[in-house]
Amino acid sequence: MTDPLEALRAPIEPVDPDPAFAARLRERVRRALLEPKEAGMTTDTRDVVSPVEARLHTLTPYLCVDDGQRALEWYSRAFGARLRTEPTVMEDGRVGHAELAIGDSVLMLADEWPELGLVGPRRRGGPSQSIYLTVPDVDTVVDRAVELGAELSRPVADHPYGRNGVIHDPFGHRWMITTPPPSARPTLTLRHGDIGYMALWVPDVQRAADFYGPVLGWRFTAGSAPQGRQVEGPSGQRVGLWGDQDHATLFPCFMVDDVHTAVRRVRQAGGEAEEPTRAPYGLVSNCTDDQGMPFALLQTTEEMTAPAQPAPGSVAYLTFEVPDSERFRAFFGAVLGWTFSPGRVPGGWNVLNGGTEVRPMSGLHGGHDRSRVVPMYAVDDIEAAIARVRASGGECSAPEPQHYGISSMCTDNQGSRFYLGQLR
């Protein structure tokens, strides 16, 4: 089974070390060499992430906890934290220093050192600060933290600055956990060649709505025809369902600066393109490429944006599965100006638009019997998402760790393939 993000992998190339990491490493070595022999030092063997995935910012929280080993495990389970470097563990078992990556930020922590006047909130009688954590789905994170032993201080509720809840973790620290309102979340402007709209083609639109609603948290409004549904949700993407289709695929609509020019390019490249028609959102042409893949072209005068980071329930990645990857590259290079870089598997390619990833991020894989587009949906908790798929009549493979997170290959209740991805 092809990994949907395998096409993005590139050969490992040496890079200069991160200066901040190198400085901390030198200091750790210096402390270890100067440390009295009886103090000793061991290192943890748990999985460590690359230091480039999260960086130190101007201000970094450094927590004192009363059980460092348990804290490393708890923050990993509750907030998805990952070890950034191997923690320093002293001979008496106390954590001398540890760094956890949470999103693009770093959380440092160490065990209590009463002999140095360093103790945690519970020994001092309560926290003296709050830690503000931004997450895609505050309800899921707060519920999981409480299940793992956190104390709910303020239930999750909507506020002008976003949806917010407050907990005290098992070590006494106060966390304000927030999902910003959609208008406050970072967005990217869609460009010529990006995907502005996606429609999931399905045999029965109502069965699809009954499946994807509980699985991904999608809500629906009526589409332009009885077999259509528009998806509403927190993703900020333009997604729909389109029924009465015998070919299960995702139908992409590509943004173009000039639809008439793009139509000519489609025809010149060996594809088919209808004459553009006017819709409320711009000029649209329905097309087919030279290997039978359906798609559309959209020219709009309005600026269209997409979320900078995939939110739970959104399309995080697309895999273009095609019979001939060379023909695909030639066609869409001519029509959209796409370029491609090799992946690490035969027939696998990264899809680039203007030298950066196409939006949403996509890959190409050749050697298939028929062209189809297979989506990966972002989820916050892949185990819970897999349970929802199975409860709704679908099937999922066992989750597997990947370099980008954890993934599972699934089929819905009508046999359409998709992936779930819990992304780092």
**Amino acid letter, 16:** D
- The pair of three-digit structure tokens given for residue 277, joined into one six-digit string: 């028609």
Mean pLDDT of 69-94: 92
Q: Which of 28-32, 38-42, 132-136, 282-286 is most confident?
A: 282-286
Q: Measuring CA to CA, how many Å separate 411 from each of 136, 205, 368? A: 25, 15, 18
pLDDT digits (tens, 9 = 90+) for 87-145: 999 999 999 999 999 887 899 999 999 999 999 999 999 999 999 999 888 999 999 99
- 109 vs 55, residue with greater confidence: 109
Is residue 28 over pLDDT 70?
no
Q: Which residues fall within 8 angstroms of residue 91, CB to CB, at 6 or more apart?
A: 38, 39, 40, 41, 42
- Position 31 scores a pLDDT of 41
With residue 284 as reference, give the H or E element that holds it: strand 282-288
Q: Measuring CA to CA, how many Å separate 23 from each of 49, 219, 415? A: 18, 49, 53
| Separate counts of helices (H) and strands (E) for the chain | 8, 31
Q: Which residues fall within 8 angstroms of residue 42, CB to CB, at 6 or more apart?
A: 89, 90, 91
- Position 233 scores a pLDDT of 63
- Position 279 scores a pLDDT of 87
Residue matched to tokens 């070390």: 17
Q: Which residues fall within 8 angstroms of residue 246, CB to CB, at 6 or more apart?
A: 203
pTM above 0.85, yes or no: no
- C-alpha dihedral (152, 158, 164, 170), degrees to nearest 10: 10
- The pair of three-digit structure tokens given for residue 223, joined into one six-digit string: 């589409």
CA triple 315-317-322, angle to 5 deg: 120
Q: What is the DSSP string of 351-413?
A: EEETTEE-SS-EEEE---SS-EEEEEEE-S-HHHHHHHHHHTT-EEPPPEEETTEEEEEEE-T
Report d(CA 82, CA 101) in Å as an integer. 5
Report d(CA 194, CA 390) in Å as an integer. 33
Within 13 Å of residue 195, how many CA atoms lie on the same side as its CB? 27
- DSSP for residue 118: B
Mean pLDDT of 333-338: 96
Rg (CA), the chain: 25
Mean pLDDT of 381-389: 94
Cβ atoms of 362 and 346 closer than 8 Å:
no
With residue 298 as reference, give the H or E element that holds it: strand 294-299
Domains of the chain in sequence order: 48-183 (3.10.180.10), 187-423 (3.10.180.10)
- Position 302 scores a pLDDT of 81
pLDDT digits (tens, 9 = 90+) for 201-212: 999 999 999 999
Cβ atoms of 4 and 361 closer than 8 Å:
no
Query: Positive or negative CA dihedral for 25, 31, 34, 38?
Result: negative
How high does pLDDT run on average in the chain?
A: 86
Cβ atoms of 289 and 251 closer than 8 Å:
no
Cβ atoms of 202 and 242 closer than 8 Å:
yes
Report d(CA 286, CA 267) in Å as an integer. 12
Query: Positive or negative CA dihedral for 419, 357, 353, 327?
Result: negative
pLDDT digits (tens, 9 = 90+) for 357-379: 899 999 999 999 999 999 999 99
pLDDT digits (tens, 9 = 90+) for 315-329: 999 999 999 999 999
Q: Which of 24-33, 324-333, 394-403 is most confident?
A: 324-333
pLDDT-derived band at 42, boundaries 50, 70, 90: very low
Report d(CA 207, CA 218) in Å as an integer. 13
| Other residues' Cβ atoms within 10 Å of the Cβ of residue 170 | 19
Cβ atoms of 265 and 308 closer than 8 Å:
no
Percent of the chain with pLDDT over 70: 85
Cβ atoms of 198 and 241 closer than 8 Å:
no
